A and B are shown apart, each in its own frame.
Chain A
Amino acid sequence: MEPARSTGAGSGNSGNYTPEIAETLRFEEEIQSLMRDGSSPANGSSFTALLGLPPNQAVELLHEPGEIYRRSTAVLPLGCSPTFPSNAALVERAAKFSVFAAAGDSPQASHSGSHAPRPKPEPVDSDSGDRPQRPVKRKEGDRNKAKPPAKKSRSGEEGAGKPSEENEKLPYVHVRARRGQATDSHSLAERARREKINARMKLLQELVPGCSKISGTALVLDEIINHVQSLQRLVEFLSMRLAAVTPRIDFSGLDSFLSAECGRVVTVGSEMGMWTEEGMGNVGRRQEQNMCDIDVVQTETEEERQQWDRDETQDQHQQQQQQPHVFIGNPATALFAYDPVTSV
């Protein structure tokens, strides 16, 4: 599944390199400008925060840009398009760009000789493109300690170059520490985790109405909890009302109409029936009869139009008859095969 997707995206991009290189450069410039302004989404604590993504996804962004784009279109804070070049050669070229930018820095930067050769061979290796998989997680913390702390301005570019190196390796994203921050692996991991949590909290904020104005984790969490509680209470209240209303209602016509209309949809869901434990029961057979009588639906269109106009199914009224006879034994109904008497 994954290779197919990446090749699909690759074939789309493989024609012209120039716009994509320009895109990469533009992206790096934006990161630089972001760093200069100091106004990045999650207080600019790391490169991944600049992307507004957790580290895993930042790496995956380079593997399969199309997928990430489809998934979370609202995440990227920058104005640039999220289609990162997926071509391996292109990414290496991007690495070269960022490496040359950083190369001027590294000779002056590193004092200890043991650490100095490390930045250079790394980018060079990535250009060759066939590095062996390194199972050991390299601690960037050591390198950061070796260099003097004045690396803040460079972290943007190098951060842009760093994930591109990760293409052939395990999905560890190297986060360059900022000045004055602890650089051991624990705090790095914790920082990555915190960013992940913050990103998800933002998603939740959008979901809960009236939460985007509130700042601060505790209040937002309170709001979310209140929202979930109120929703659950609503469900309970509505079920009580339904229980009072139900005896007077004849559901059968509605049932067949809905099954005819949703037959297409439910065939997809029938595979879920595999993990239901109950058998079919005679209820399924009753469904059969309902589904065979499609003309029954016609006579009850009046009532059903009233009840389902909200569901934008009006236009599908006429299409019912053309719909093929839906599958008979929906195993998914077995899910609900609980006896009202015994289920309590």
Chain B
Amino acid sequence: MHNNKYLKENPNQPLLAYHFIQALTRINLAAHTTSTKQRSHIIKHAAYVSMAFAAGNKRTWTHAVLHNRFPIKTRFHRLSGSRRSFIVSLSRNKETLHQAHLLRSLVPGGHAMEFSSLLMETANYIQYLTAQVRLMQCIVEKFDMHV
């Protein structure tokens, strides 16, 4: 498996919408039994899951989101010996180290990747996050108008 730059594809909007709406429908069925706060939590979870689903299984973060565990440790083993020493010493500054740690905590599954792949995953994650946000904004806006 090559760790080069992936094709920067655009998120598949209809697929995203389809799964998210499906989830919403299902949540809607049990709307009378759940409180609003509960429901918002479920909807948030549904948003992430549909996002990860639309992105496909190739990405580390989707794997982490959907399977509720970090990617397998073999990712580290695949790296050559000389590289491994550089994983820990991410950079010279303490500040960059802190930022890298912060980024890892933000992106799901970020702790088990080295820095360059973390950056790639972040890029992909941002793409899908923006798509999801746009979708949700649209839904909310339309329903506000409708009612």
Contact = CB atoms under 8 A, between A and B. Distances in A.
A242 B5 contact: no
A189 B14 CA distance: 42
A335 B18 contact: no
A243 B82 CA distance: 50
Interface size class of B (residues with CB under 8 A): 35 or more
Given A207-B123, A307-B142, A228 B129 contact: yes
B99 A275 contact: no
A258 interface: yes
Contacts of B72: none
Contacts of B19: 332, 335-336
Contacts of B29: 340
A70 B33 contact: no
Nearest to A217: B96
B126 A208 contact: yes
A217 B93 CA distance: 11
A254 B95 CA distance: 49
B120 interface: yes
Interface in A237-259: 238-249, 251-252, 254-255, 258-259
Interface string B64-92: 00110000000000000011001000000
A254 B54 CA distance: 19
B70 to A, nearest CB: 16
Contacts of B143: 245, 248-249, 307
Interface in A201-250: 201, 203-204, 207-208, 217-218, 221-222, 224-225, 227-229, 231-232, 234-236, 238-249
A231 B96 contact: no
Interface residues of A, number: 80
Contacts of A71: 4-8
A117 interface: no
B123 A311 contact: no
B143 to A, nearest CB: 5
A343 interface: yes
A136 interface: no
A208 to B, nearest CB: 7
Given A203-B5, A303-B146, A336-B22, A242 B122 contact: no
Interface string B128-147: 01101100111110111111
Interface string A116-153: 00000000000000000000000000000000000000
A200 B119 contact: yes
Interface stretch (A22-30, A84-92, A265-273): A265-273
A197 to B, nearest CB: 5
Contact of A232 (B83, B127, B129): B129
Contact of A244 (B7, B26, B36, B93): B36
Contacts of B49: 335-336
Contacts of B145: 306
Contacts of A228: 103, 106-107, 122, 125-126, 129
B33 A262 contact: no
Given A227-B126, A228-B122, A252-B25, A343 B6 contact: no
Interface stretch (A31-39, A52-60, A104-112): A52-60
Nearest to B93: A218
A310 B145 CA distance: 14
B112 interface: no
Nearest to A276: B66
Contacts of A208: 126
A186 B81 CA distance: 11
- Give me the 10 closest cross-chain CB pairs, A-B, nearest first: A243-B40, A243-B39, A239-B43, A239-B44, A340-B30, A238-B136, A200-B119, A251-B25, A240-B40, A231-B129
26 contacts: A56-B2, A57-B5, A196-B116, A200-B120, A201-B119, A203-B8, A221-B100, A225-B102, A235-B129, A235-B136, A236-B44, A238-B140, A242-B140, A243-B39, A243-B42, A243-B43, A245-B147, A248-B143, A255-B22, A275-B67, A311-B14, A311-B138, A332-B19, A336-B23, A340-B34, A340-B38
Interface of B: 2-8, 12-15, 17-19, 21-34, 36-50, 53-54, 56-57, 66-67, 82-83, 86, 93, 95-96, 99-100, 102-103, 106-107, 115-116, 119-120, 122-123, 125-127, 129-130, 132-133, 136-140, 142-147
